[in-house]
Amino acid sequence: MKQLPKDSDTPPYRLVAQELRRQIRAGRYAPGQQIPSSRELEAQYEIANMTARSALRLLRDEGWINTLPGRGNFVVDTLPAAEAGGAPPENENRMPTREYIELSERLDDLTQKVDGLLGVLQQLNGLTESRKSPRA
């Protein structure tokens, strides 16, 4: 069982999709390989089935997976050219290099940590503001 961050402002379905994208980039799921079903994701992350289905739908809409009815969800043969707003790589048919994958994973980890710290800072700011009392 994997835990999703509880203090994140990001919807759970996006967190699950982000984790699956990271695993695909890291080679955990290779092109053509089946990824977990919505029921497996539901059990793995302790989320509602609709949340798991939304994560899979997002990945399908972004071009990361194909769904074969009655068979499951599979990583596409050619990964998407770029994340939203990014420029396509020179050779979009090539798999990412090991260095790229490692850097992507580190960036994902750092992003999660920064998001967590921002949440803590917002909570501290709220406590500080609530302790200040207007003086007449």
- Rounded-to-integer distance, Cα 49 and Cα 40, Å: 9
The one-letter code for the residue type at 55 is A
Going through the chain in order, the beta strands assigned E by DSSP cover: 65-68, 72-75
Q: How many helices (H) and strands (E) does the chain have?
A: 4, 2
The architecture of the domain spanning 12-79+94-130 is Orthogonal Bundle (1.10)
Give the per-residue pLDDT at 133. 60
The closest alpha carbon to 93, from 107, 72, 79, 112, belongs to 79
pLDDT tens digits for range 10-68: 999 999 999 999 999 989 999 999 999 999 999 999 999 999 999 999 999 999 999 99
Give the per-residue pLDDT at 62. 94
Question: 44 by DSSP, 3-state: which?
Answer: helix
pLDDT tens digits for range 97-123: 677 677 777 777 787 788 788 888 888
CA end-to-end span of the chain, whole Å? Answer: 54
Tokens 């068979």 belong to 71
**What is the DSSP pairing of strand 65-68 with strand 72-75?**
antiparallel
Taking residues 122-134, report their average pLDDT: 79
- With a CB cutoff of 8 Å and minimum separation 6, the contacts of 20 are 29, 35, 55, 59, 64
